[in-house]
Structure formats: structure tokens, C-alpha cells
Structure 1
Amino acid sequence: MRPVKNLFVLYTGGTIGMLQTVEGLAPAGGFEARMREQLQGQDEITLDWGFAELQPLLDSANMTQANWLAMRDAIVEAVEQGGHDGVLVLHGTDTLAYSAAALSFLLLGLDVPVLLTGSMQPMGAPGSDAWDNLGGALKALQNGAPQGVWLYFNGELLHGARVTKLCSDAFDAFTVLPRKRVGERTGSLPETLDYRQPRQLVNLAVLPLFPGLRAEHLRALLGGGVQALLLECYGSGTGPSDNEELLSVLREAHARGVVLAAISQCPQGHVAFDVYAAGSRLRDAGLVSGGGMTREAALGKLFSLLGSGLSQAEAERLFALDLCGERVDG
């Protein structure tokens, strides 16, 4: 942990900088001037900072993989070309946890802290949390933040690959779920996952298991060229083990190269396939365990792995290992 001296601020849109329109709150430019005005007279914040707006500015409900890659490119350029030693990303809250997770894996190996923050109310609104989050993030970076990707919100610094949005309208909207973290850390980081390496878009899908899920539902989803499917299983990683047609669809998809991954639907759950036969049958159909990873972390990790051009076997091997604290504490 070292104090940041030359910060790069990347404004992507989101509630923190929204202004009222006839259609409701919408992303607005000019946030740098508003931020500098807010910082006038704030003697406790002394770090230098530069500013850039991601175009187009987004309501984060419109976030896509392409936007993640644009953020990653802007951050890498700011660090390697601009000499910045820390990054602050201003982002909407709807997909803030997804972006924090995706950047955690897209920026593996980057040796500067990257903090994301936003707000539940726009800057300037009565009682807004915008300045508390923005000012708090700036102070955290100035005082020395850990390397890697983090989310600063409501006075807390939260791990970027573990955080999730728990509430839609409270200032303490984000948390790290108390999931059991088990797994093995990777040794040296594969060169293909280094932050300097280019990435490509990936056709990913997420499906929660539910009573009544049919094989034809799954077949239709996988028929769209899906490269990886994240199944949100029951409990410790169980599913409809007596549905041979559904299991056959999974086996066929795996045989043609689709990565199949499993996480638990339970907020405090983790996948342990061998506890029940219903879990073992999913494992035998080709699913790889996500352990205690959240949906956001598992999705971001699959995007990074397959976006690097890894084979199915290598992506499955690395998905099962801890790369940045998403699976193992410490």
C-alpha cells in the first residue's frame, strides 16, 4: 500500500453525475468542473488528478462487455502512458459490482490501486451520498489503498471480486456476502491473463435452476452460440439429477466446447458437488465448481478467461483456481 500522488479519474456516467431531464434522471457531462468546484476548500485532499469521460456516458443499466473493455483500455493507457499511480472509476450502481468483478480479472498484474465508486443519489441532491463516497474514495487513495480492484461505498473498502449489490435504495447498498471461500491459489499468473493482453467479446449466459426447468429451455439457450454457461444451482451445487434429457443437453454442450460452470443460488452458499448425488451428476455432466464465487465474480472471470482465447480445458482449469482473491480469503 502506497499513497497515490497522481490519480486518474474515469467518469463513466451513473447516478453520481446525473441531471434531471423531462424523462427523468440521465447521465450528464461536465462532471469534472462540478468535482473541482466541490473540492475547492477541501484542504485534506491534496493529491493531483486528471480526468476523462468514457464515451458515451452510461446509465449503468446499459453496461456491456464492450464498455468493460473500453474502461480497461482507458485505465491501462492512463497508467502506462500518462504515468498515473492510481485510478478512480465513477460508475452507476446497477452494475457496479459486475464492473468491479470484470475489471478485477481484466487488470490482473496491474500494480496500482483501482477504486470504483458511485452514489445512490446524484451529486447536489439534498441528503445525497455522492460526496461521502467520492471524497472518501479520494482520501482512501491518498492515504494508501491496496493494489488490485476495490469498491469504495458508504465508508467501506470492499473487494472488487467479492462484492455484490444487496439493496436497491439504501446508502449501504453493497456488501461482501459471507460465502465460504475454498480453493487453491494459482501459482504464477499465466501471461495470457496479464492486463496488457488484448481481450475479445464472449457469448456468455447465466441461468438459475428452478423447478420445472425443461431440457428444451436449456437447448434453446445453448443453441445461440453460447461459449460459456453459468448455472446458478440449488444449495451446495445440486440440480434435477433425475432429468436425463436435461443432463444429456449439458453433456452434449460440454462435448462441443461450451464451458459449464456452477455457483450456488444461496447468498451464503458455495458449491461442493460431492455432498449429494444430485451434485455429482452435474459435475459428471461437465460442470466445473465456482466454489463460493458470486454471480458477478464468476461471470467476470469467465469473460476474462474466454476473452483471452483460452481453450475450454484451460479455462476450466483456471476457473477452478483463485486468481485474485475471488475464491480464497487472504
Structure 2
Amino acid sequence: MNPTQKLLVLYTGGTIGMQMSAAGLAPASGFEARLRAEQAAHPERPAPAWQFAELLPPLDSANMTQANWLAMRDAIVHAVDEDGCDAVLLLHGTDTLAYSAAALSFLLLGLDVPVVLTGSMQPAGVPGSDAWPNLFGALALLAEGVAPGVHLYFHGQLLHGARASKLKSEAFDAFQDTRRPRHGQAVDALPSALHYRQPRRAVALAVQPLFPGLSAAQLRAVLASGAEALLLECYGSGTGPSDNPEILAALREAHARGVVLAAISQCAQGHVEFGVYAAGSALAQTGLVSGGGMSREAALGKLFSLLGTGLPQAEVERLFALDLCGELAE
């Protein structure tokens, strides 16, 4: 954890840099000048030397897409491999901040520098805003030294990038580690296909929560949408409607034609363990692979990264069940 010497501040938009428009708060460019002015006004705040880059157009993170994830990944890789940066601070809106942190955790496997994501619940410049405390708190940590990997910094907490979730819509302590059970087996060695320098492509992903009354027709419609993977949010420890043969058949048929089927628990602090209940065993027999204690954000980011490499279905399923960066094991 060496002190950062050359930092890239990568601005993507979000509340932290928003300004008022006729339609309400909207993403705005020009944040570098505001940041430098704030730093000059408070020279006592520790911060490493930094350079600034902006992904255009600046986004409200509610509009974040996989293409934006890939653009962020490309900018980070270029900063490290071409410009010699030894850390990256990424400024991002809060609505999908945890999703981007998780996706980058898997897109940047093997990168030996820290990448810290932060944002704010209120814009910079608003009295009492959390924007400058979050940003300069992250800068102070980087000045001291942060371990390699992807992290999310918010309200004084440095969280694992693939374990954080947004749990509150207004409070400053909006992000937390949900403390799901994590007892997964670590991968023996990182496959070369998952190295951060390997290109990725966009992936058609779908999420389907189970709920009382879900019909086979609804599930088939989702599976027929072109999804390459379905993340099934199961009850409890991985159970579902095991007495509905049509639902089980829909899953089996999708798996047979190459769709990756992955399962996580709907419980905020739950994990999938199919063998506990017969209802879970029946689901597992359709081809579902357990996501253990992964959150939705982590599971989606991991599926995106694995499928985006072009790996075959069986290899995606094998790697999905293994811990790659701390998402499944402490």
C-alpha cells in the first residue's frame, strides 16, 4: 500500500458535479476547475498529485450502460499502462455506483493499482453537502496508500468494490457491505482470459426475482428475450417453485440452448445453498449455478465480465462459482 504519486481523477458525472437546470439538477462539465478551486481553498487537506479526465457526455448514473462500464475500463487501463498512473479515483453518480464498482472489480482483475469510486448524495457547493468530504476523504486515503483492487469510498468507509450495495436513497451513509455469508472457494490462478488487458464485449443479461404467482409464460418471455445469462433471485437459501414443472422445464430448456443460469438469494444477508431444501435441489437440477453470498451487483458484474470474454457456458459456470477477487470469500 504505497502512497499514490500520480493519480488520475476520472469524472463521469453524477450528483457530485450536478448543477441546476430548467428541468432540475443535471450532470455538468467543468468539474476540474471546481475541484482545483476547492483544493486551493483548503491546502491543508492531504492529496496526491493528480491529473483529470472526463468521460463525455457527463451522465446521471441512472443512465449508465455496459458501454459506459467498458469506457471506464478503457480509460483506467490507458491511465495505468500508458500514462503511468499508480491509482485512479473515479467520480460517479450514486444510483448505479455499486453496479459500476462491481463490474470494474471483474473487468480489472490483475491490475496492481488501487481504483477508488466515490460520489455524493448532494452536489458539490450545496451547504452541508457530502461531496467534498467524500472526494477529499478518498484523496487522503490515496495519499496515504490503498491496497490494489477496486474500492468504493463513501461517508468515511472504504468498501470492497464487489461487496457494496446502496441501501439508502437519501442518507449520507447510503452504501454498506451487506455482510452476506461468504465461504466460497478461491480460484487457483487467474485465467488469462480474465486479465484486465483482455477486451470485453457487451452482454445481454436478465434478472428475474422469484415471487408467488410467477408464471412459466413470464419466465419463458424473459428467457426468449435473447438473454445470454439469467440471474434468478431465489428465496432464502436458493429455493423456488419446485412443484411447477413448467417453470423447471423452462429453465432446463434455456440451459440446454446455452443460457447461463445463476442464482442468488433475495435476502439482504442471505446466500444460496441448494442442498438445504428439496425445493432448492430441484432448481439446481435445471442447470442453475450458485452465486453463494454474492449481491445482485456483484453477480451481474461477474456474469458481464465472464461472458464478455467469449468463454463457453461450462467455463463461465465454473468460474462464476469460484471466488475471483473477494466477492465470495473473506
Same fold (TM over 0.5): yes
Q: Distance in 2 between matches of 1:278 and 1:221?
A: 22
CA 1:277–1:312: 2 relative to 1, 3 Å: same
1:9 match? 9
Superposed CA offset, 1:38-71 (max 9, x none): 0013234241101011011100000000000000
Specify the alignment match of 2:264 in structure 1: 263
Q: Does 1:283 align with 2:293?
A: no
CA–CA separation in structure 1 for the residues paired with 2:284 and 2:314: 15
- Tell me the distance in 2 between the aligned counterparts of 1:221 and 1:102: 22
**Partner of residue 194, structure 1:** 195
User: Secondary structure of 1:83's partner?
Assistant: coil
Corresponding residue number in structure 2 for 1:251: 252
Shift of 1:146: 0.9
Q: Distance in 1 between matches of 2:232 and 2:9?
A: 35
Matched residue pairs, number? 329
Separation (CA, whole Å) in 2 of partners of 1:87 and 1:207 = 34
Partner of 1:18: 18
Partner of 1:101: 102
Q: What is the rounded CA distance, in whole Å, between the counterparts of 2:203 and 2:252 in structure 1? A: 21
Partner secondary structure for residue 202 of structure 2: coil
Indicate the residue corresponding to 1:29 in structure 2. 29
Cα deviations by residue, 1:195-216 (Å, 9 ceiling, x for unpaired): 0000000000001000000000
SS of the residue corresponding to residue 305 of structure 2 reads helix
Q: Percent identity?
A: 71
Equivalent residue number for residue 234 of structure 2: 233
Q: CA deviation at 1:320?
A: 0.3
Please tell me the residue identity of whatever aligns with 1:279: G
CA distance in 2, matches of 1:56, 1:233: 37
Q: Which residue of structure 1 lines up, in the alignment, with residue 65 of structure 2? A: 64
More displaced stretch, 46-55 vs 79-88: 46-55
Separation in 2, partners of 1:318, 1:288: 10
Unaligned runs of 5+ in 2: none
Give the TM-score taking structure 2 as reference length: 0.99
Matched, 1:299 2:295: no
Aligned-partner residue type, residue 118 of structure 2: T
Q: TM-score, normalised by structure 1?
A: 0.99
Give 3-state SS (helix, strand or coil) of 2:76's partner. helix
2:264 partner SS: strand
Separation in 2 of the partners of 1:35 and 1:229? 41
Q: Aligned Cα RMSD in Å?
A: 0.6
How far, CA to CA, are the matches of 1:46 and 1:284 in structure 2?
53
One-letter code aligned to 1:154: H
More deviation, 222-231/36-45 = 36-45
Which runs of structure 2 are paired with 1:178-193 in the superposition (5 Å)? 178-193=179-194
Deviations 1:177-206 (A, max 9, x none): 121101100011000000000000000000
Give distance in 2, aligned partners of 1:128 and 1:12.
19
| CA distance in 1: counterparts of 2:47 and 2:161, whole angstroms | 25
Following superposition of structure 1 onto structure 2, how do residues 6-155 of structure 1 map, counting pairs within 5 Å? 6-40=6-40, 41-155=42-156
Distance 1:4 1:46 in 2: 9
Measured in 2, the distance between the counterparts of 1:188 and 1:273 equals: 26
Alignment partner, residue 212 of structure 1: 213
SS of match in other structure, 2:303? helix
Shift of 1:280: 0.3
2-structure distance, mates of 1:155, 1:286:
41
Q: Distance in 2 between matches of 1:59 and 1:22?
A: 16
What CA deviation, in whole Å up to 9, does each residue of 1:123-142 have, x standing for no partner? 00011000100000000101
Q: How many angstroms does 1:9 deviate by?
A: 0.6
